[in-house]
């Protein structure tokens, strides 16, 4: 009588995500949160989390309002959380930005993961990668020693290749349940921009383009969803141009962001430096036709005249002309919307899960 064949089970991989918390709204924190929520109760992954921005003790809470001081006080707390949290972990999945942020958060996580015997994965999200690696020798030192570099776009794969750093691409995730997809008919001059008020995103160019659109469509509206260090400058520009119809909504939470896309008919973006902007994928998911400038990364995400319309960086007149083109050609807008919605399916959890799972298994 033959012996029964024992069943083969694959051990759950123990993955620790090291990333910003949702205390600060941003692309990395949103992506980390989506990964954490989707991996919960997954039969293949045991997930844990370490925040790069741990809360300060109550006695030091006042220092949280002072940027430099709060960083100094948080760093030893962060190190302790890393040392304790990376024990018995298979892979440290470390989210990464650039410059000094890289030295303060990802670099220590890599070192402590190595000391704890865990494999290290740097999930690099910054469009500033080329400048970062050129200016900071420490960046290439660390990146060349991690076990794997994963980026959200083919653009960054190509940038890392310039420095002989192999990287693989796993796309960002969009939660389609946040958005109601609909076709815009009729197409109204109702615009939305969900980028922060920072230098890279050139919201001033968005406002100047909107001023051009207003000349053709006086009833046009623009929702600016976000905040940032240049908000006062943008408000002054709106006043100087004597523009009506510009609505400053403030930051929208994950639960609220969908309504801003839903009430808009065109998404507008004017960034001059970017990587894989989640805001554009969200617009794809909501069916909001995309009009954007074309920094180096953008053609990797938006195909001109198939999933959106591209224009040169810093050219508000060309950006406005594409908005006006859509408003005068609703059939084109509908075609872009349909194609973009299909493209958005590549960024769902169903499409991305196995890519992450295979990445972790390759490491372990």
Q: Give 185-238 pLDDT, tens digit per residue.
A: 999 999 999 999 999 999 999 999 999 999 999 999 999 999 999 999 999 999
**pLDDT: which is higher, 208 or 6:** 208
The tokens describing 265, both together, are: 């008919």
Report the share of the chain in percent with pLDDT over 90: 85
Whether 315 shows a pLDDT value over 80: the answer reads yes
Prior bond of 186 cis (ω within 30°): yes
Radius of gyration of the CA atoms of the chain, in A = 22
Q: Cβ atoms within 10 A of the Cβ of 243, count?
A: 16
Whether 334 shows a pLDDT value over 70: the answer reads yes
How far, in Å, CA of 338 to CA of 311, rounded?
21
Q: Measuring CA to CA, which residue among 283, 293, 292, 291 is closest to residue 263?
A: 283
How far, in Å, CA of 214 to CA of 241, rounded?
11
The band of 5, judged by pLDDT with boundaries at 50, 70 and 90, is very low
Quick one: average pLDDT of 299-323? 98
What 3-state DSSP class applies to 266? strand
Going by the DSSP 8-state scheme, the letter that residue 108 receives in this structure is: H
The most confident of the ranges 7-16, 180-189, 318-327 is: 318-327
Q: What is the reported pLDDT for 295?
A: 96
Query: Is the CB of residue 234 less than 8 Å from the CB of residue 271?
Result: no
Comparing 23-27, 46-50, 125-129, the range with the smallest average pLDDT is 23-27
Spatial CB neighbours of 317, under 8 Å, sequence gap ≥ 6: 209, 212
Q: What is the reported pLDDT for 245?
A: 97
Query: Is the CB of residue 289 less than 8 Å from the CB of residue 324?
Result: no
Domain 13-173+349-363 belongs in CATH node 3.40.640.10: no
Domain with CATH 3.40.50.2000 in the chain: 13-173+349-363, 176-346
How far, in Å, CA of 339 to CA of 223, rounded?
24
Q: What is the reported pLDDT for 7?
A: 42
Comparing 54-68, 70-84, 93-107, 159-173, the range with the smallest average pLDDT is 54-68
Distance of CA 207 to the CA centre of its chain: 22
Whose tokens are 């051009």? That residue is 212
Cα four-point dihedral sign 311, 256, 342, 45:
positive
Query: Is the CB of residue 341 less than 8 Å from the CB of residue 287?
Result: yes
Let me know if 59 is exposed, middle or buried by CB neighbors in 10 A (0-12, 13-18, 19+).
exposed
Report the half-sphere exposure of 363 (CA within 13 A, side-chain side): 25
Q: What is the reported pLDDT for 3?
A: 54
How does pLDDT run across 32-43, given as a tens digit for each residue? Answer: 999 999 999 999
Q: What is the reported pLDDT for 200?
A: 93
The fold of the 176-346 domain, in CATH, is Rossmann fold (3.40.50)
Q: What is the reported pLDDT for 8?
A: 44
């Amino acid at each position: 009588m033959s012996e029964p064949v024992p069943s083969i089970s694959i051990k759950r991989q123990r993955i620790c995500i090291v990333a910003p918390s949702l205390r600060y709204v941003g692309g990395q924190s949103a992506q980390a949160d989506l990964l954490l929520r989707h991996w919960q109760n997954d039969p293949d992954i045991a997930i844990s989390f370490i925040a790069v921005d741990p809360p300060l003790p109550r006695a030091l809470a006042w220092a949280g309002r002072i940027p430099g001081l709060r960083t100094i006080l948080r760093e030893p707390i962060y190190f302790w959380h890393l040392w304790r949290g990376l024990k018995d972990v298979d892979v440290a999945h470390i989210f990464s930005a650039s410059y000094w942020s890289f030295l303060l958060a990802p670099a220590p996580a890599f070192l402590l993961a190595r000391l704890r015997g865990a494999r290290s994965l740097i999930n690099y999200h910054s469009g500033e990668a080329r400048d970062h690696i050129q200016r900071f020798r420490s960046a290439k030192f660390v990146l060349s020693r991690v076990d794997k570099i994963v980026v959200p776009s083919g653009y960054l794969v190509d940038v890392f290749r310039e420095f002989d750093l192999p990287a693989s691409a796993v796309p960002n995730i969009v939660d389609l349940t946040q958005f109601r997809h609909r076709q815009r008919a009729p197409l109204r001059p109702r615009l939305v921009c969900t980028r922060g008020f920072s230098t890279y995103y050139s919201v001033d160019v968005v406002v100047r383009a909107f001023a051009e659109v207003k000349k053709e469509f006086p009833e046009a509206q623009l929702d600016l969803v976000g905040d940032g260090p240049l908000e006062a400058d943008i408000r002054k520009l709106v006043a100087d141009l004597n523009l009506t119809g510009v609505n400053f909504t403030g930051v929208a939470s994950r639960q609220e962001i969908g309504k801003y896309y839903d009430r808009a008919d065109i998404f507008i973006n004017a960034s001059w430096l970017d990587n894989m902007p989640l805001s554009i994928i969200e617009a794809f998911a909501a069916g909001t036709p995309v009009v954007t400038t074309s920094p180096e990364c953008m053609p990797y995400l938006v195909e001109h005249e198939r999933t959106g319309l591209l224009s040169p960086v810093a050219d508000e007149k060309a950006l406005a002309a594409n908005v006006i083109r859509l408003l005068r050609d609703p059939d084109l807008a509908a075609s872009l919307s349909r194609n973009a919605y299909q493209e958005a399916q590549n960024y769902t959890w169903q499409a991305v899960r196995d890519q992450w799972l295979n990445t972790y298994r390759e490491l372990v």
